[in-house]
Structure 1
């Protein structure tokens, strides 16, 4: 299947040129059998020759402990036993704090594991049982750390297991708050690279492998995929998307969900919950400024462009995605059923969550807010005069002037089930006791969250085998498939005079890649381009540091997309191309303007996260770059400034159209 088949400008046979990746079958769930039951601290029960966990230590088998019952039956029994405090805690999705001191440890970035004393307090006193992990430990240590968290869950009154989530871990780009650093996980192209390949089977293969890697170390929930459309070229979150058009994005998102959840009927027992995001319209940010920041708190659409952004999520709904995360920004210019949207962020917008998502789309899963939407945004958040710290992070867009407690209440009324990045259940408890929120409404959210835990088997065995995690991590056969995707996802835009493939014992000048990767192909690396036969230049798309005091703005790519004098990679290109034919590979985390690069390059490649080895395999003809651009590449910054941030691929006279790529023009070496 190719999601590009409806386009008249190229054929599916050209799009899929190149060796297919080996498939990893989505294994069918085994027939009903006794699950493995494991406790580390609490007792177990033997009933009719079968093992069960005695989670509340009552000495009898309660319905919620009985794996023979359905997740729904077990959940109904559990919710009846829970206190209001435990229910309110369930609606928090906090951060697992890291060991040590400082701001990074507070949000979970630590080389020493978790602060287990702090975790125990959060679970035991606040009833919180969902957390994001930001650790980047080797697999055995990671599994051991997550097991230690589960033991703290086992200590709680009802023995409720912990759901551990993560930002993406299998790609090249790392931005704190958007992705996680990778250790022991196979490394694949960024999602845009999957968009360049355009094959749902490849995405499903990736997601199935990542599912196994996540579960091996004790991770149960993927805070991904992004179904956002890459419509504003300057937007910093573009690399996490699959491209600009819903006809491309929706099938790839569906394949991602199927692979992670291990099927199309919801999350399987050995699956990983996926949280599709960001509902909806996030990519339409004027100037590309991101809504993690006060200055990027609005997106601009109209009803027609909004419909395209909504359509990108349809694939996820078709395969029963477990969770949806609302977007941060206030959506300007949109009406639903003739009524303008309330000018608040999506996490507070009942029209978007209860109206469009629940009622119109029929979605019945978990709605998890994006992080920190209930926090106060003071002067240090709005207009920092010094670098922001984690305490300045807040995204309460449209409700900045109401109290924190009112934000929790408004989010619940809008339709939220969980609040991301916070650990303050007291406001919910107060609202229920004061009669402002019905406890039955809280029960609805708790049911959805607990059903997912039961579906994944966490109540019966939340533990993993650290030795097995170490053996499983980054298995060579998995990385071989990831490497194949890296090679295939590259987009060949120019190959003048048959410059590829590189053959013979050439002298090569390089910039931005490892000499070892070049030497291993039989070439000699030289220090000066005038001594070379050919040059290879690796560059990143340009950007600017426009908001150095903003926590996210200082970490995100913003501003211009064109190469200018003084840019280090561009200077290397000018120097090299003055002497020898020059090969250029540009990392497109955003759609760079290559107008003054194309005329200097004998070969021009786009990539979306590739190793030096995968690049050299393509350059030497051992593999084919068969990718197609998942968005257009504009010709100038003036064209970028004039386009509509909500509309895909609408800049004037693009240098390369969406779908561009030479494909099979390079002879493969055998």
Structure 2
């Protein structure tokens, strides 16, 4: 004899924990329950260093930061952990254990159980003790070989995911034409199409490993006056569109990058970090980008000071 059993959903289970729902529905339900303070907390990151003994990560103090009180932050949540492996040399296995313990503490500290996004630098390899270092982007440009760059980025992404990192702060899509600028070795070259093609390949490789690729620096960072880092950019809209913006549009449309980092620069007196026409009008409204825009480390602090 067969019995028909009705399958019911436990009404006490919050919608955001209902795995039968789609990701967007669960996210919408979660956001609807969060207070303004909890939402703001998800926009906040703490620069940390992993313990070389496997203990929890510890905040790293910098002259641009106020003293961080994790105990006060965690009840509201924490959005990002900055460079747990790259702040100081740490054995990868102990670093992964340190990050795991901290993530458990973060998830347990807020009422929704939300862990943080851990991000690292990874342009020419995962910037961590013992990780493989690859040639700098100028060398990628010399290869004219997107498949090779894609394969390299995939290997970098696998290294990062193996120890619990979610987001990589690469690739650099700045087109550079002034060799006086001090970060030329981080760039792919002087031709926008070459930069866009190889940068897109890097994005595809990193994203294939499940790591969020971050396009930077949006936009014009490499065109600062007299090649001085952080100096203002003297550039008109035509040159910016034809030279600087093209690689970013290619990497978003063809690469599927999920994050963009603003540049430290200002153009015509408007800081990129506070440029509504750039970050909203162009990036979101015109290009249709729906991912995250992240601050270059102290970009918000620079706006304040």
Same fold (TM over 0.5): yes
For 2:216, which of 277, 282, 298 is the aligned residue?
277
The secondary structure found in structure 1 opposite 2:114 is: coil
For structure 1, list consecutive stretches of 5 or more residues without a partner in the other structure.
1-47, 49-57, 108-117, 172-179, 263-269, 333-342, 376-394, 401-670
Aligned mates of 1:72, 1:85 — CA distance in 2: 22
Task: Report the Cα offset of residue 135 of structure 1.
Answer: 4.1
Q: Residues 50 and 98 of structure 2 are in contact (CA less than 8 Å); yes or no, is this contact kept in structure 1?
A: no
1:68 aligns with 2:2: no
Partner residue in 1 for 2:177: 231
The aligned counterpart of 1:204 is: 150
CA RMSD of aligned residues (A): 2.4
> Would you say the 8 A contact 1:85–1:127 is kept in 2?
no
Partner of 1:106: 61
Matched-pair contact (CA < 8 Å) for 2:264–2:271: yes
Pairwise CA distance, 1:320: 2.1
The one-character-per-residue Cα deviations of 1:386-411 (angstroms, maximum 9, x if unpaired) are xxxxxxxxx32xx75xxxxxxxxxxx
> Is the CA contact (8 Å cut-off) linking 1:225 and 1:274 kept in structure 2?
yes
SS in 1 for 2:179: coil
Mapped to 1, the partners of 2:31 and 2:37 lie a distance apart of: 12
**1:150 and 2:100 equivalent?**
no
Q: TM-score, structure 2 length as denominator?
A: 0.84
2:280 paired residue number: 354
Counterpart secondary structure, 1:287: helix
| Change over 3 Å in CA distance of 1:169–1:309 after alignment to 2 | closer
1:458-501 Cα shifts (integer Å, max 9, x gaps)? xxxxxxxxxxxxxxxxxxxxxxxxxxxxxxxxxxxxxxxxxxxx
Question: In 1, distance between residues paired with 2:284 and 2:227?
Answer: 29
281 and 195 in structure 1: CA distance in 2 versus 1, 3 angstrom threshold: same
Residue 299 of structure 1 aligns to a residue whose secondary structure is: coil
Give the match for residue 366 of structure 1.
292
Choose from 220, 228, 236 the match for 1:302: 236
* TM-score relative to the length of structure 1: 0.40
Match of 1:479 in 2: none
CA offsets per residue over residues 293-347 of structure 1, 9 Å max, x none?
Answer: xxx2x01212332121111212211122101111111113xxxxxxxxxx22111
**1:586-628 Cα distance to aligned partner (Å, 9 max, x none):** xxxxxxxxxxxxxxxxxxxxxxxxxxxxxxxxxxxxxxxxxxx
1:118-144 Cα deviation digits (max 9, x unpaired): 674264144223121124312111111
Aligned mates of 1:82, 1:360 — CA distance in 2: 29
Q: CA deviation at 1:69?
A: 2.2
CA offsets per residue over residues 508-529 of structure 1, 9 Å max, x none? xxxxxxxxxxxxxxxxxxxxxx
Which stretches in structure 2 are left out of the alignment for 5+ residues?
1-6, 53-58, 63-67
SS class of match (2:214): strand
SS for the counterpart of 2:129 is coil
Q: Distance in 2 between matches of 1:141 and 1:247?
A: 42
1:21 paired residue number: none
Partner Cα distance (2:41, 2:132) in 1? 34
- Cα pair 1:136 1:181 within 8 Å, conserved: no
Alignment of 1:79-118 (within 5 A): 79-96=31-48, 105-107=60-62
> C-alpha distance in 2, partners of 1:119/1:321?
33
| Residues in 2 aligned to 1:192 and 1:315: alpha-carbon distance in whole angstroms | 19
Rounded to whole Å, the distance in 2 between the matches of 1:215 and 1:130 is 16
Say which of 60, 72, 90 aligns to 1:137: 90
Higher relative contact order structure (alpha carbons within 8 Å, sequence separation ≥ 6): 1
Structure ID, larger Rg? 1
Query: 1:205: how far off?
Result: 0.3
